[in-house]
Amino acid sequence: MQTKKVDELALNSLFDYIEKKGLRKTIERETVLKTIYQMDDKVSIEDILKKHQELFPQTHICRSTVYNSVSILLDANVIYEIKDKNCTVYCKAYGNSDTVELICNHCRMTKLIPLDYISTQIYSLGIPDFKIETFRLQLHGICAKCALEK
């Protein structure tokens, strides 16, 4: 999927949510979403702040605005959060959904990897009264670094 298309899907989804909930459509919610969609799979609040300044120097935001926007984006299901070691990071929900999340049980490292070769099987599972649109899988185990230290 093209980045631009994914961007638009997420943005439309956010606008639908804002309208349905009767919230205000602020420029910050839009720019924070665009910022996250311009970045790699996992981003922290710090990463978002830094990249936002780079992309939208004319829109000044503070940390609490980022927290606030992120919480609305989470509610709108356009991003999701994962616990990475000691911090929370955020991922795009569109264009990043058919992925597998690897979690080390020892150091809590997380990594997202695409697993194209199983998606066909997952989509054809044939669950009654349910159509799969996207999926997220979590695999728990031990990372190479922790395995070496054992």
**Nearer to Zn ion among residue 106 and residue 136 (C-beta):** 106
Vertex 86: Cα angle to 83 and 88 (nearest 5):
40
**Nearer to Zn ion among residue 78 and residue 103 (C-beta):** 103
CA 60 to chain centre: 23
Q: Is 87 marked as binding a ligand?
A: no
- Minimum separation from the CB atom of position 43 to Zn ion (A): 21
Using CB under 5 A as the criterion, what x/- string covers residues 117-146 for binding Zn ion?
A: --------------------------x--x
**Nearer to Zn ion among residue 51 and residue 111 (C-beta):** 111
- Minimum separation from the CB atom of position 89 to Zn ion (A): 16
Q: Which of residues 87-116 bind Zn ion (CB under 5 A)?
A: 104, 106-107, 109
32: exposed, middle or buried (Cβ count in 10 Å: 0-12, 13-18, 19+): buried
Which residues are part of a known binding site? 104, 107, 143, 146
Binding positions for Zn ion, rule: CB under 5 A: 104, 106-107, 109, 143, 146
Which residues are part of a known binding site for Zn(2+)? 104, 107, 143, 146
